Structure 1
Amino acid sequence: MLRELKVLGSYSLNRLQGRKSPLVATFALTSYCNFYCPMCIFGASDKEAQMTNALENDLKTEQWKYVMSKVAPHVIWSIVEGGEPTTRRDIMELLRHLHSIGLGFTLITNGSMLHTLDLKELASYGVVCTSIDSVKEEAYCKIRGVSPSMYKRVMENVRLLSKYNVKRAINTVITKYNCDEFITHEYFDFVRKELDVHAVNFSFVEDVFPSKYRLAPDRESKSRVAKAIMDYAKSHDDPFIATPFRYLKDMIEYGRAMYDACATWKVIFVQADGSVIVPCYRFDSPENRMSIIEHSIDEIYRHRAWEITDRCNECDSFSCVWYLAQNPLNIADAYIRGLISLIKYFATTRIGLNAK
C-alpha cells in the first residue's frame, strides 16, 4: 500500500506540473497466439511464422524480469498479456517475479492453457481475466477462430479457476455474432451458474485490423446491447458488471465511445520485443519506438510524440482508450458498485457455508 501511495503521489505531482507519467504497466510477453481471432493483430493464420518471429524477437526470461523490476517503481498495477502469455514456458516464473517485487497483476488470457499452470500457487497472488466473447459454442468459435473442442477446453479451464479459488473475471468483446445473448441475459446466467465467475467487463469491437469479415455490430444493435447490459446491472449484483455506465451510455447515444483527448500515456505498454511505441501502435515507426531496456522511463516519457495524444481522437470505440481518457471520478461508480457487489457476494457465500 505504501508503494502504491508513493506512486500516486509522484503521478499527481507530475500532472500538476504538466508532465505525463504512467499509472499502469502492460507487459505483452509474446507476439505469438494460438488463436485466430479476426479482430486481433495476433490472429494471423500462419502460426508457424508467428512462432518463429516470437522465438527470435520476444524478450527472454531474464530480460523480462529486468524490465518488470525497472517499471515497477513507476506504476500501481500491471497487466500481463500477449499474444497469448500462457504459451510461454516461463509464464509462472515471470508471474512469480512480479509477485516477489510487489507489483500486482491481472493475467489476460484466452484460457486455453490454464490447465498447464500451477493454479494453486496462482490463487495466492494473481488475478486471471479470461476472454470469453460468447457462451454459445458456434458464436465463440466464429469469433475466436477455433474448433468446438477448444471451446470445451476453455470452459473447463475456467471452471478450474473456481476449483482452485483463483481470483477471476471475464472480459467480453461484443460483436455482431454475440449480441443476442446479452439482450436476453443468457450470457450472465451462464457465466454465473456454469462458470462460477462473478465479474464481467464489456467492450465493443472495432474493425481496425485486416480481416476476412467484419465483426462490429450496427448502430442499432450497439444501442440495444448497451441498454440490456445497463438494465441487467441495475437489477442484479451477480455477476458484477464492471463496465462503467457512462461507456454504455455513450454507445446508446452516439454509437461510439466519446472522449475529448486520448491518454495512452497513463499505461506504459511494453511490446514483446521490449519496445514502447509512442504514443500508440497507430503511430508506429522506427523513430517512435524506444527500447525500455536501453532507455529510462523518464527518457521514454520525454519523447515528443506523446504530444499527439493531446489532439488525437481517432479510436472510435476502443474501451481501453476510453478508460484512459476519463477523469478517475467518471468511472468511480463502477468501482463503488463493484465493492458493494463483492461484499454482498462474499456475505451470501459465508452465510451459505455456515448453514451447511
Structure 2
Amino acid sequence: MNRYKLLNIAKTYFKSVFYSILPKRTVPLWTHLWVTRRCNLRCKYCYVSHEKYPEMNTIELKKAIKHIKEKLHCSFIALMGGEPTIRKDLPEIIQYMTDLNITSFLTTNGTLLDERKIFQLCESDVDFIELSLDGMSPSPISEKTGQNLMNILEILIKYTKTYDVGLSINMVITKQNYKELYELIRLVSGEPISITTGLYIPDLQDEKNILDDPFAFISSEDLINLDGFVNRIINLKNKGAFLAMDDSYYKKWVPFMRELLKRPPQKPKKLWKCKAGKNFLEIDCDGRIRYCSYLNQLVDEDLTIIDLDLSYYHQLGSRFKNMLKRCNNRCLSNCFYQVSLIKNHPFKFADEFVFKHAMPFVYELFDREKTSEKMALKNEWRKKFNY
C-alpha cells in the first residue's frame, strides 16, 4: 500500500460514509464476497456449511467485483470463505481489485500459507490481511491455534511491514480461551497489528442444550468472569493496546448473554442496530445475495450480484428490515457491529482507529530511508521466488 493508495482509501472511506448518510443514495459501505465455501479445517463453532457448493470462476468473480464497484459504488470488499487461500487464482483476483482501486481485505485461517504464498499475496498489493487465531493452546472447538500459526504470524509480520499491508488478528472469545488474549496482546505489542474479537455465541437453534454448552459464558460465575475480562481489555485499550473494536461493543457482551439466557426463553432486547442490507452486502460464492453470513438464507433464489443495481438494492430494504426484526436481537457479530459504528459515528471511528493507532505507521510511508530499505527487500524476495 503506497502513500497514494492510502490517500485513496481515506477518500473512498469518507465518500462511502457521505453516500450512506443520504437516504436515497444509500450504498453498501462494506461487501463480504465469499470466494469459496471450501475449508481445510472443521472448527466446531463455524457457521459456514461445507457441503459442495458451486463457485464463480475467475472471470465471473472479476465481473462481480467490477459490478460492485461501478454499479453499487462500494470500494471496500472482504474476500471470505471457507478458506479463500484454497483458490489458486486468489492473487490474480486481488490484483484485479487493486487495478480497480478497490480496498481489499483477506480473511484467512493461515494454515495453508507459506512464505511463497504470503509473498504472492503481498505482491498482488492486497491492502489488509486478517489472520484468524483463537489462541496458542490446542482447543476442542477451534483448529486455528498453536505454534504453527505463530510461525506463520512471524512471516506475515515480516512481509506485511515491508509491503505496507495492514495486518490484523481475529480471535473468537470462549469461556476456555479468553485469558489467552492477554498473551496475544503481549506478543504483538509494538507491531502494527490490530486485534479484533468476537464473542462465542451458543447454538440458538438448540434451546434444550444451550445451558450445557462448555464454551459459552453461561453461569453467574461465568458472567462475572466475562464482566471482569471486558473491564480489563478496555483498560488495556486505554493503555495503548491496539484492540480494534469500540468499547461499546465489549460493554454489550454481558447484557447480551443475560438476555439470551433468560429462562423460560423470552424475546431478547435489541442492544444495537444492525445495518445488514443497508450498509453491508453479503455475496455467496455462486454470486447470489444472502441476508448475512450467519443466516444461511438467500434474499431471492434467482437474484445474483450482476442483477443488483442501486435502485433494486434500495427496494430490498424492506425484506432486510423484516428479517432483522427476527435476528438482530440474537446476534452480536463484530463485523456487522463495526459497519454500524462506521455508519453512525464515522469520525469517532476514524479518530479511534486511524489517528490513535495507525498514524505512527503511516509516517513510515513518507520516510525515504525506510522506503529504500523496503524496496531492497522486495527486490531480494523477487529474486528468491523467481518473480
What TM-score do the two structures reach when normalised by structure 2?
Answer: 0.73
Per-residue deviation at 1:328? 3.6
Three-state SS of the structure 1 residue aligned to 2:286 is coil
CA gap 1:220/1:108 in 2 versus in 1, 3 angstroms: same
1:246 to 242, 245, 248: 248
- Contact 2:56 2:287 (C-alpha < 8 Å) held by counterparts: yes
One-letter amino acid matched to 2:131: T
- Once the two structures are TM-superposed, the CA of residue 24 in structure 1 deviates from its matched residue by 1.2
The Cα of 1:177 is off from its aligned counterpart by 1.6
In 2, distance between residues paired with 1:289 and 1:41? 23
CA offset at residue 324 of structure 1? 3.8
Cα 1:93/1:248, change in 2 over 3 Å: same
Alpha-carbon contact 1:269-1:277 (below 8 Å) kept: yes
Alpha-carbon distance between aligned partners in 2 of 1:121 and 1:207, rounded to the nearest angstrom: 34
Change (3 A) 1:171 1:283: closer
SS at match of 1:75: coil
Which residue number corresponds to residue 31 of structure 1?
A: 37
Indicate the residue corresponding to 2:153 in structure 1: 158
Which is further off, 110-119 or 74-83?
110-119
Name 1:174's counterpart in structure 2.
Answer: 173
Q: Distance in 2 between matches of 1:226 and 1:269?
A: 29
Q: Counterpart in 2 of 1:72?
A: 69
> Any idea what the Cα deviations from partners look like across 1:141-180, whole Å, max 9, x if unmatched?
x33236xxx8333222221112212421111110112122
1:11 aligns with 2:20: yes
Quote the residue 1:47 is aligned against: none
CA distance in 1, matches of 2:302, 2:339: 21
Among 175, 183, 186, which residue is 2:183 paired with? 186
Q: Partners in 1 of 2:30 and 2:186 — Cα distance?
A: 32
Point out the more displaced range, 314-323 or 28-37.
314-323
- Alignment check: 8 A CA contact 1:262 1:309 kept: no
Q: Distance in 1 between matches of 2:204 and 2:49?
A: 10
Distance 1:66 1:35 in 2: 29
2:238 partner SS: helix
Are 1:226 and 2:227 matched, yes or no? no
SS of the residue 2:329 aligns to:
coil
CA shift for structure 1 position 316: 3.5
Residue in structure 2 matched with residue 259 of structure 1 by the alignment: 271
2:286 pairs with 270, 273, 289, which one?
273
CA contact (8 A) 2:138 2:146 kept: no
The correspondence of residues 91-240 of structure 1 with structure 2, limited to 5 A, is: 91-115=90-114, 116-119=116-119, 122=122, 124-134=125-135, 136-139=136-139, 142-145=140-143, 151-164=146-159, 165=161, 166-182=165-181, 185-192=182-189, 196=191, 198-208=193-203, 214-218=214-218, 219-235=223-239, 237=240, 239-240=241-242
Secondary structure at 2:79 match in 1:
strand
Cα distance in 2 for partners of 1:320, 1:288 equals: 25
After TM superposition, give the deviation of residue 337 of structure 1 in Å: 3.2
| TM-score (structure 1 length as normaliser) | 0.79
Q: What SS does structure 2 have at the residue aligned with 1:130?
A: strand
Give the match for residue 263 of structure 2: none
Using the alignment, how far apart are the partners of 1:161 and 1:295 within structure 2? 36
Amino acid at match of 1:341: H
1:241 is paired with a residue whose SS is coil
